[in-house]
Structure formats: structure tokens, C-alpha cells
Chain A
Amino acid sequence: MKKKIWVNIAFQVGALVLALLSTTLLLLAAGAPPFQAYAAILKGAFGSAGSLETLLITWSPLLLTTAGVLITFSAGLWNIGVEGQMAMGAIFTTWMLRLLQETSLPPALTIVLGILAGIVGGALWAGLAGALKTFGGVNEIFGGLGLNFVSTALTIYLVFGPWKRPGVGSMSGTEPFDRSLWLPTLPDTELSLWSLTLSLLALVIIIVLLRGTHFGLRLKAVGKNPKSAFLMGVPTWQYSMLAFLLCGALVGLAGAIQVTGVYHRLLPNISSGYGFLGLLVSMLVNYQAVWVAPVAFFFAAVNVGSIQLQLMYKLDSSFSGVMQSLLVLLVLLGEGARQRFLRKH
């Protein structure tokens, strides 16, 4: 047992070292001095109050999308449709805000209703992916991908069609909402404690749900072996559907936060890749919910900090994505190698 722990640690550390080495080589190939580049990333992420603020703003939706996909992963489901679910959350929030913005409802209530609508929108869209799998036999990967395209098409239709700015047809999005409909932020910042608190709260609920409840245990049982779970009396398809709905609700909340707290309007690319980034983070933490917060924080820091690489060393803006993907790939490779090693020994 003790040996197994050391083997685990050795493989995980080895994977991280390999990832670091590969990134260093990449930086060298791109003509950037590696150590100064790493220092620049750190400085870019933590060097000023402003960058820390941006980091926290980025962290919040990433926590939600990661927490969401962890639930579906726990149920053995590859919810690739997470991007579309986030977009649908944003669409529902925008719809609710547009509906209520001219009424006499207090702005705070309008925001709350908008966020609730986003949660419902995300859940419904995820539920559709779940229903396609459960009742239609459509693999959730293909169903999710298809629904991503549909949600993108719907967003584009709304932005260029019924919700367009007067006389304008542009990817720049819909007319920004009045400032009274923006999530309140800390003075002189763009950081909303509401979005941060909601995200952390959601993550805590998911950790407790997955680690400390019968629901979590049954969900994992469905994920590990649905046939056995069914024989043990777990209603498997209902649990799968619940996993989709819960994931969609969390991801829809992320979409709602993008509309009310970040962009203040609907954009065609409102999900900004958070869904796929959440998938990467959840794979990196090996589906352990308790590690989501620090690893998502790390990813957010790399995202924000690596902007400095472009500023200082003129590296392409896609470099941080390459670094993050490389990290995940090598860690997954390390995990595969570890399992192979343990099987042999």
C-alpha cells in the first residue's frame, strides 16, 4: 500500500516535471527566456491588484463549469455539451433581463430572476442532452457536440436577428444592459463578490454532494458500473438525468454570470471556452472535487498571467492554451503510465 502511494506520487510529480520541461522547451523555441517568462506569468497574475482582480473574475465561472462536469464525469458521462449549456444559460439570462428591464421591478430582483433563468436554461439544455442519451440512445458526446452547434447558431441568430442593436449586425453582441442591471462589484473594481461567492458555494455543495452523501455514492456507482448499480437498486437513468440537470444548472449559472457580471450583454462566443477549460481541469484533478478550487485557480492564473508573454516577448496569444493543454495531456499520459505500471507490478 505504502509502495503504491509512492508510485502514485512519483508518476504525478514525473508528469508535472515533464510538463514543465516541455513548456520550457516550447518557450525556448519561441525565443523567450523560460525563467523570465515564468516570472512574467506570475507577475501578470499576481503582480497588481488589477491582475488579481482579473484572475478572480476568470476563476469564478471556471469553478462552476469544472464543478458541473465533475458531476457528469462522476456518473460516467462525457458532457461535451457544456459550452452550449453555458451559452444557453446566457441566452435565458439575457432573455429575462430584456423582458424585465423596462418594467418597474427593482433592478436587484431583475438580476436575481435573470440568474435563475440562466440556471434553468443551462439545466434544460443539459437535460436535452441527457434525454437524447437516455431515451434516444444518442451518445452524450455526439449529442453534446450537436447541441453546442445548435446553441451557437441560436446565439448568432439572436445577436444578428431579434436582439440586434438598432441598425447593426455584428459579433460584438447585443446592446449592453443598463448599469443598474450589472452584478454589483467591489468599489473601483470589476470584481463581483456575488459571482465569486455563488461559485465557491456551488463548489462546496458539489464536494459535499459527491463525497458525503448517498446521492454522491450512488452517482459514482452508476459511473463505475451502471449494470451493477442497477442490480443494487440504483435507478440508473434517473441518476444520469439528474447529473445532466445539475451540471447544466451550474454551467447555466456560469453563463448568467458572464452576462450580468462580465460582458453585460450577450455575445456569440459568450462561453469563451470556459466549458472546455472546465473539462481540462476536471481531468487534471482526476475527478477529485476537492482539488478543483486550487487547480482552477492555477489555470486562471496561467490564463491571465500569460498575457504578459505576448506583451513582453511577443508570443502568440494562443500560447497559454498550448501550455495548458500540454500540461493536461502529459498528466493524463502519466496517469495512464501509472496504471500500466501498477498492473504489471
Chain B
Amino acid sequence: MCKHLTRFTFLAVAAVLVLSACGGGGGSQLAPLGENLTFGMLLVGPANDHGWSQAHYEAGLYVEQNIPGATMIYLENVYSGSPAYTGTTTSQLAEQLVAQGAQLVIFNSDDMKDEATKFAQDHPDIPVIMASGDQVWQDGEAYIPMANMVNIMGRMEYGKMMAGCAAALTSQTGKIGYLGPLINDETRRLAASAYLGAKYCWTLAGNDPATLEFKVTWIGFWFNIPGFTSDPTQVADDFFNNGYDVVISGIDTTEAITEAKRLHDAGQAVWAIPYDFKGACDQAPDICLGVPYFNWGPAYLATIQAAVDGAFATDFQWLGPDWADINSPDTSAVGFVAGPALSAEDVVSLDAFIAELAGGLNLWTGPINLQDGTVYLGDGVVATDQEVWYLPQLLEGMEGQSVTE
């Protein structure tokens, strides 16, 4: 009897240990969401912004098309202190989605990071997708174990390198402007990626890298909030009026190409590269050199399908392009569409650069110094994912603020 009891106790303790290991944020799974799924999405901007939010919205439609019976409900213009929702916090808006039937909630912006964490912790039974976040990256600097959260982000560094390359191939003045949103790890590394791509192609075209000017101006948020951020139209205008003939946009909306088109129509030789949304060039094809864009659909579909099937598990996904076809709507997380304004000769050069990237070219390889001159990567050293994600400053050769002053 005593022997049986000992064995039973041992097995029970072992079972408890195994179960607690599973529940620590690693592999625990939520209940299947089943058929006729309703999922909610909180968009930081309008669903038709031709940028970041529209890319997410269209990914939601993609999920609806590919999961029978799935329905998306969403709220737009959700950001801290948004006048659209006086006094209502983002997590409270997520509650509204749940009250309306949402079984899974997508937070689509870095601005929602704290609120997404709060919501996920308050509702451990509801699967949460936090785009662009790193909360559940075990090797990240901000790791918080949450069994019900998945972080998804595209490796837009590649897209920005292509944008930088297209800008450098086209620029006649050797002065490229980068219309930056707010300053954080993500925006620093993306601006730096654009610079690395620009420098590479500028040099490849036979120019002295020291003659390339690359300036970043931040507006303070992902899009224009009159009275609170710098006006992106004004910033783009300042670039163009100061000899920067190509502006690469890093913000969620399309002011850069709108302004470039206005000046182009007035006879100036200027170009722009929008961001985020595959169809962004359509607004001003004459001056659009191309657009690096996110394709959230496949990752959302896979993650939501897993939730439907009961296989949802916390995960950090940093997804690159499908190098076999970077513009595949079903397999590539990021892509680049060359714009009508990119010359045929430059299209060939850009395609060659993309082929090099696909073949393993890594521009995050030393020697690279930070903006203040300190060594970031020694000669031949390749940056780790953490070093890229948490880039502490802009790079040497870039002009602009690395952190706020």
C-alpha cells in the first residue's frame, strides 16, 4: 500500500511539474475557437489609409476569405488619447470587440503595446495577436510570458534595403530624405536598413559612399496628428526644397508621395517611396519608385487557423520574404513592388540587388559604426537578431536624431 502511495505521489508530482512547465507561457494551448469565428482588430489609423492600417485590414479580409464562416470586426483610429474615443483606453476598446463577439483580438500597432499586454493578461482565455511587438520573444529585452499572445512582425529590413537601393539608383543629387514616424527600436532599424541599402547601391553604381547624404526627420507619431506631431507634408516639402530629390516614407500614410507628385507636376525632378501597403504607389505612380510592403495575411491566417483548431501557442514570429517570390500573396510576409517611376535600367539593377539578398547578402555585416562613432559591428561580424531589433542608434553616415533630446 505504502509502495503504491509513494508511486502515486511521485507520478502526481511529476504530472504537476510537467503541467506547470507547460503553463509558464511556453507551450500551453487555448481551447479551440471552432467554426463561425469572429475576430476583432484594432487599427491605429483608418482602414483606408493606403498604408499600415489598410495592410492589416486587407489581411483581415484575406483571413475571412480563407477561413469559412470567419468574420472580422474592427475599430479604426485607436491610439493613446484618440479623440475618437474620449477617455476610452485601447484595452477597453478591445473589451468592446469581445462584447460584440470577438473570440480573438489583433492589436495592430506598437502604440498599443502596453494595452495589449494588459488585455492579454486580463483575459488569459482569449488569443491575442500583437503586430510589431516583442513581448513574447523569449530572447527579447521585454519578454513577458503570456500563453495567449503571439507577436508577428515582418522582416521589413529587407524591404527598406530595397527602398534605399531604388532611391540611391534614382537620386541625381545624392541626397535622400527619410520621413520617419516616432523614434523607437523598430523605426531606427528600418531607417538604418534603408540607409544600408542606399549606401550599397550608391557604391555599386560607382559613387563614393562619402558623397551620399541620408537624412532622417521624425514627425513624432505613425501619422499626422495636427497640433501634436510635425506635419509630414511640411517635412517632405522641406526635404524636396533642400535638394533631397528622393524621400523614403517610414510613416503609415502617404504624404511623401502626395507632396512629391505636387512638386513633380510643378516641374521638379523629385521622387518618393511610400510604405506599408502594396497599392500605395497607385496614388501617384508618376513619381513612385516602388513600395516596400507588409503582407500580414498568411501569418494572420496561419495563427488564426491554429486558434480555430485549438493549436494556438505563444510565439514570436519575425517573418522574412519568400525569396522564391517576394510578392507572393500567400507565402511572403514582406514584399517590394517596383514603381512606374523607376527606370527600366534601375529595375534591372534593383532586381540584381534583390537576387543578391535572396542569395544570402547580409548588409548587417561589419564594419558598421553607430552614429556616435562607436563600433556596432566589427569587421566581418554579422548582427544577431537582437542586435538588429534593438538597434540603439542610427548608423554612422546618417543624419538625424537617434533618440529624442
Task: Please determine whether B228 and A171 come into contact, CB atoms closer than 8 angstroms.
Answer: yes
How far, in whole Å, are A152 and B228 apart by their CA atoms in the complex?
8
How far, in whole Å, are A147 and B228 apart by their CA atoms in the complex?
15
Instruction: Give the chain A neighbours of B99 by CB distance below 8 A.
Output: 47-48, 50-51
**A293-311 interface with B by 8 A CB criterion:** 303-304, 307-308, 310-311
Instruction: Give the chain B neighbours of A58 by CB distance below 8 A.
Output: 86-88
Q: Does B318 contact A (CB under 8 A)?
A: no
**A81-133 interface with B by 8 A CB criterion:** none
**B114-132 interface with A by 8 A CB criterion:** 114
How far, in whole Å, are A190 and B93 apart by their CA atoms in the complex?
13
How far, in whole Å, are A317 and B182 apart by their CA atoms in the complex?
24
Given A167-B185, A277-B86, A269–B228 Cβ distance below 8 Å? yes
Instruction: Give the chain B neighbours of A303 by CB distance below 8 A.
Output: 85-88
How far, in whole Å, are A250 and B85 apart by their CA atoms in the complex?
22
Measured between C-beta atoms, what is the minimum distance from B304 to chain A in Å? 19
Measured between C-beta atoms, what is the minimum distance from B98 to chain A in Å? 8
Task: Please determine whether B80 and A269 come into contact, CB atoms closer than 8 angstroms.
Answer: yes
Q: Does A336 contact B (CB under 8 A)?
A: no
Measured between C-beta atoms, what is the minimum distance from B61 to chain A in Å? 13
How far, in whole Å, are A277 and B392 apart by their CA atoms in the complex?
41
Task: Please determine whether A171 and B75 come into contact, CB atoms closer than 8 angstroms.
Answer: no
Task: Please determine whether A167 and B81 come into contact, CB atoms closer than 8 angstroms.
Answer: no
How far, in whole Å, are A172 and B79 apart by their CA atoms in the complex?
8
What 1/0 flags go to B232-272 for Cβ under 8 Å of A?
00000000000000000000000000000000000000000
Q: Does A268 contact B (CB under 8 A)?
A: yes
Nearest to A171 among chain B residues (CB) is B221
Q: Does B349 contact A (CB under 8 A)?
A: no
Task: Please determine whether A169 and B96 come into contact, CB atoms closer than 8 angstroms.
Answer: no
Task: Please determine whether B405 and A161 come into contact, CB atoms closer than 8 angstroms.
Answer: yes
Task: Please determine whether B404 and A164 come into contact, CB atoms closer than 8 angstroms.
Answer: yes
Instruction: Give the chain B neighbours of A311 by CB distance below 8 A.
Output: 73-75, 96-97, 100
Task: Please determine whether A167 and B88 come into contact, CB atoms closer than 8 angstroms.
Answer: no
Measured between C-beta atoms, what is the minimum distance from B63 to chain A in Å? 17
Task: Please determine whether A263 and B403 come into contact, CB atoms closer than 8 angstroms.
Answer: no
Q: Which of B73, B88, B89, B392 contacts A304 (CB under 8 A)? A: B88
Measured between C-beta atoms, what is the minimum distance from B69 to chain A in Å? 19
Measured between C-beta atoms, what is the minimum distance from A255 to chain B in Å? 12
Task: Please determine whether A263 and B111 come into contact, CB atoms closer than 8 angstroms.
Answer: no
How far, in whole Å, are A168 and B112 apart by their CA atoms in the complex?
14
Q: Does A66 contact B (CB under 8 A)?
A: no
Q: Which of B88, B183, B228 contacts A156 (CB under 8 A)? A: B228
How far, in whole Å, are A67 and B218 apart by their CA atoms in the complex?
39
Instruction: Give the chain B neighbours of A47 by CB distance below 8 A.
Output: 99
Q: Does A160 contact B (CB under 8 A)?
A: yes
Q: Does B331 contact A (CB under 8 A)?
A: no
Task: Please determine whether B86 and A44 come into contact, CB atoms closer than 8 angstroms.
Answer: no
Task: Please determine whether A51 and B89 come into contact, CB atoms closer than 8 angstroms.
Answer: no
**B interface bracket (residues with beta carbon within 8 Å of A):** 35 or more
Measured between C-beta atoms, what is the minimum distance from B398 to chain A in Å? 16
How far, in whole Å, are A23 and B81 apart by their CA atoms in the complex?
26
How far, in whole Å, are A110 and B151 apart by their CA atoms in the complex?
35
Q: Does B83 contact A (CB under 8 A)?
A: yes
**B139-174 interface with A by 8 A CB criterion:** none
Task: Please determine whether A310 and B220 come into contact, CB atoms closer than 8 angstroms.
Answer: no
Chain A interface residue count, CB cutoff 8 Å, equals 46
Nearest to B404 among chain A residues (CB) is A169
Instruction: Give the chain B neighbours of A225 by CB distance below 8 A.
Output: none
How far, in whole Å, are A218 and B82 apart by their CA atoms in the complex?
39
Q: Does A258 contact B (CB under 8 A)?
A: yes
What 1/0 flags go to B94-108 for Cβ under 8 Å of A?
011111100000000
Task: Please determine whether A308 and B83 come into contact, CB atoms closer than 8 angstroms.
Answer: no
Q: Which of A51, A54, A57, A168 contacts B183 (CB under 8 A)? A: A168
Task: Please determine whether A170 and B96 come into contact, CB atoms closer than 8 angstroms.
Answer: no
Measured between C-beta atoms, what is the minimum distance from B377 to chain A in Å? 19
Instruction: Give the chain A neighbours of B77 by CB distance below 8 A.
Output: 317
How far, in whole Å, are A274 and B81 apart by their CA atoms in the complex?
11
Instruction: Give the chain A neighbours of B317 by CB distance below 8 A.
Output: none
How far, in whole Å, are A192 and B173 apart by their CA atoms in the complex?
59
Given A161-B404, A267-B80, A269-B228, A171–B111 Cβ distance below 8 Å? yes
Nearest to B111 among chain A residues (CB) is A172
Q: Which of A168, A173, A277, A307 contacts B96 (CB under 8 A)? A: A307
Q: Does A234 contact B (CB under 8 A)?
A: no
Instruction: Give the chain B neighbours of A57 by CB distance below 8 A.
Output: 87-88, 92
Instruction: Give the chain A neighbours of B359 by CB distance below 8 A.
Output: none
Q: Does A61 contact B (CB under 8 A)?
A: yes
Q: Does B227 contact A (CB under 8 A)?
A: yes
How far, in whole Å, are A258 and B79 apart by their CA atoms in the complex?
15
Nearest to B390 among chain A residues (CB) is A167
How far, in whole Å, are A274 and B86 apart by their CA atoms in the complex?
7
Q: Does A262 contact B (CB under 8 A)?
A: yes
Instruction: Give the chain B neighbours of A50 by CB distance below 8 A.
Output: 92, 95-96, 98-99
Q: Does B365 contact A (CB under 8 A)?
A: no
Q: Does B1 contact A (CB under 8 A)?
A: no
**A177-198 interface with B by 8 A CB criterion:** 190
How far, in whole Å, are A263 and B220 apart by their CA atoms in the complex?
19
Given A169-B403, A170-B220, A176-B114, 9 other A-B residues pairs in contact with their CB atoms under 8 A: A50-B99, A51-B95, A164-B403, A167-B392, A172-B80, A269-B82, A273-B83, A274-B86, A317-B75
Residues of B in contact with A (beta carbons under 8 Å apart): 73-77, 79-89, 91-93, 95-100, 110-111, 113-114, 182-185, 218, 220-221, 225, 227-229, 392, 401, 403-405
Closest 6 pairs between A and B when the two form their complex, measured CB to CB: A269-B81, A169-B404, A317-B84, A170-B182, A169-B183, A171-B221
What are 19 residue pairs bridging A and B, where the CB atoms are less than 8 Å apart in the complex? A44-B96, A51-B99, A54-B88, A156-B228, A167-B392, A169-B404, A170-B184, A171-B228, A172-B114, A176-B114, A269-B80, A272-B87, A274-B86, A307-B88, A311-B74, A311-B96, A311-B100, A317-B84, A317-B85
